[in-house]
A and B are shown apart, each in its own frame.
Chain A
Amino acid sequence: MLVSYNKIGKGYIMLSTYISMLIALLIFIVLFINSFDAISQVGLKLFTLEWNPSKNEYGILSMLYGTLSVTVIALTIAIPLGIGTAIFTSEILPSAYRIYVKSIIELLAGIPSIIYGLIGIAFFSTWIASFFELASGRTILTAGILLSIMILPTIVTLSDDAINNVPKKYREAAKGLGLYPFEVIKNTVLPIAKKDITGAILLALGRALGETMAVMLLIGSIDKIPTPFYNVLSPGQTITSKLGREIGESAFGSLHFSALNTMGFVLMLLVIILTLITQLYLRKSNRLYE
């Protein structure tokens, strides 16, 4: 009886793993097949600035630029803020309060992105517009800041777990050597937790790259790279916002549809490459404990 249960259990968990893997693979394959038309017909012209379906021009550079710049802004704000918060909740805050502070921050993760978008469009973008004296608050910076708030809970929660998982004995050994609490955190706890914290950042990065609704409402949706290119106070377009706005009106099977799929494919490649680079980098820095 027990043996058969074991087998069912094992089969079940194996099946779930295979299904998840298969889904990821299928999405990748479907995206590739659908983007094939655009890749073969548009070719290298995909990496130009002009996007105009009625003239068969499909340049994705401005969308790529938008996605990268929004993500960089979001991470620049969210990483220091998130890791700082995580150090505070796990190392300094008495553990009785930790759970409350953490749940409040995790609440941010539960808010649907359309709500962020609405608040962003109704209030946040108008503040940005009056603060920087802009004609419109729908800018790359606005989307980036809002995105940083959306990915903050991912970084805080997972980094907090990472820091909390560092075995006590290391802290005690460090304290025993006479280090100040600041030095214990900086020289002992953080280096050990580094790998898991990077994992947290990677997950947040994935969300930042893929977030659609809030970004779409806030970024201004114009297929242009601002001049000069670092002027993030101008509107732009991300891959996701472009997909969100245009996938419904492109006919299934058309070159337009295929070009949109290519953008999705590029986005997925981006995530995969970033994940691989981080994995390779982390493999070198071996874990201290175990």
Chain B
Amino acid sequence: MRNILFLSALILLFNACSKPNTKTITVAGSTTVLPVVSTAAEQYKKAHPDTRIIVNAGGSGVGVNQVGSQKIEIGMISRAITSQEIDQYPDTSFQTHSIGKDAVVPVVSSEIFDSGVTSLSLEQIAKIYRGEISNWKELNGPDKDILVIDKEKSRGTRHVFMKIVMGDKEADAPGADLVLGSNNEEQTAVVQSDAAIGMLSNAWLNEDVKGISIIMPDGEVIEPSLNNIINGSFPITRNLLLVTNGDPVGGARKFIDFILSKEGQDIVTQNGYVSIVQ
């Protein structure tokens, strides 16, 4: 008898927990866009308590695939959708919504930055990733082997970086020592090493992970500053995108509109990215 009472209490509790009218919006994809969307989701839920927003990571590739197979409403991507991806999902009409701008910055361990390697040309970076330069000595740094950190092939950050640096978004990187996934995994690896080079979204730079400037072919040195991203002079920039299947409707539409509103764009800026209205 006690068991039955306990059980029915439990069932009542579960019923009380699931509100009948909650709408759920599922979002997944790029870890570059993730901080913006998850902060926006929290604020959106305050104003719309009847909406649940579930935000997952996974990378741009996951974002596109899950929208394509219609498992989620909104995908987060930090690169363009490839033609293969469009071919793979003939039933899905991908529609992208730009919510901000970002730069992909080559980063080095602080020890390397402090030793004087604060700028590299795109050609030098390409040589590092191709395995033609393997010691910091060759770049006027300390006598240390370079720990070259690559990213998983479908990651948006990698697509954008490799397109500009190596000329092909899916270029091989025979010089790579590690292949990692999300921005924070990459960030951790660069912090833990004293001789690493990697690629990170501009918003993920900090004291231990220093972004280096790019030496342009004409000799001009361009810092990865917000100003240079806004005026477009930093060479590796990209749009932060949300992707939906066709025109978003209902909750998804309202949520995207919220991110595009003044309040939503403030979140974009707070996270270290560039607002699209600027």
Whether B264 sits at the interface, judged by CB under 8 Å, is no
With A248-B59, A249-B65 known as contacts, the answer to whether A138 contacts B189 (CB < 8 A) is yes
Residues of chain A with a CB closer than 8 A to B193's CB? 129, 135-136
User: Pick the contact of B153 from A53, A136, A254 — CB < 8 Å?
Assistant: A53
Measured in the bound complex, the distance between the Cα atoms of B95 and A66 in whole Å is: 40
Interface string of A226-252 (1 = CB under 8 A from B): 000000000101000000011011111
Tell me the residues in window 224-274 of chain B with beta carbons closer than 8 Å to chain A beta carbons: none
With A221-B180, A246-B152, A249-B152 known as contacts, the answer to whether A129 contacts B192 (CB < 8 A) is yes
In the complex, how many angstroms separate the beta carbon of B62 from the nearest chain A beta carbon? Answer: 4
> In the complex, which range does the number of interface residues on chain B fall in?
20 to 34
Residues of chain A with a CB closer than 8 A to B177's CB? 135-136, 220, 222, 235
In the complex, how many angstroms separate the beta carbon of B156 from the nearest chain A beta carbon? Answer: 11
Tell me the residues in window 135-188 of chain B with beta carbons closer than 8 Å to chain A beta carbons: 144-147, 150, 152-154, 170, 172, 176-181, 185, 188
Residues of chain A with a CB closer than 8 A to B180's CB? 221
Residues of chain A with a CB closer than 8 A to B176's CB? 222
Tell me the residues in window 166-220 of chain B with beta carbons closer than 8 Å to chain A beta carbons: 170, 172, 176-181, 185, 188-189, 192-193, 195-196
Measured in the bound complex, the distance between the Cα atoms of B75 and A249 in whole Å is: 12
Q: Which of B89, B147, B179, B180 has the most CB of A within 10 A?
A: B179
Whether A156 sits at the interface, judged by CB under 8 Å, is no
Whether A121 sits at the interface, judged by CB under 8 Å, is yes
User: Pick the contact of B62 from A52, A136, A249 — CB < 8 Å?
Assistant: A249
Residues of chain B with a CB closer than 8 A to A52's CB? 153, 172
Please determine whether B192 and A248 come into contact, CB atoms closer than 8 angstroms: no
In the complex, how many angstroms separate the beta carbon of B131 from the nearest chain A beta carbon? Answer: 12
User: Pick the contact of A252 from B58, B69, B85 — CB < 8 Å?
Assistant: B69
Please determine whether B192 and A137 come into contact, CB atoms closer than 8 angstroms: yes
Whether A125 sits at the interface, judged by CB under 8 Å, is yes
Whether B61 sits at the interface, judged by CB under 8 Å, is yes
Using a CB–CB distance below 8 Å, which chain A residues touch chain B?
A: 52-54, 121, 125-126, 129, 135-138, 217, 220-223, 235, 237, 245-246, 248-252, 254
Using a CB–CB distance below 8 Å, which chain B residues touch chain A?
A: 58-59, 61-62, 65, 68-69, 84-85, 88-89, 144-147, 150, 152-154, 170, 172, 176-181, 185, 188-189, 192-193, 195-196
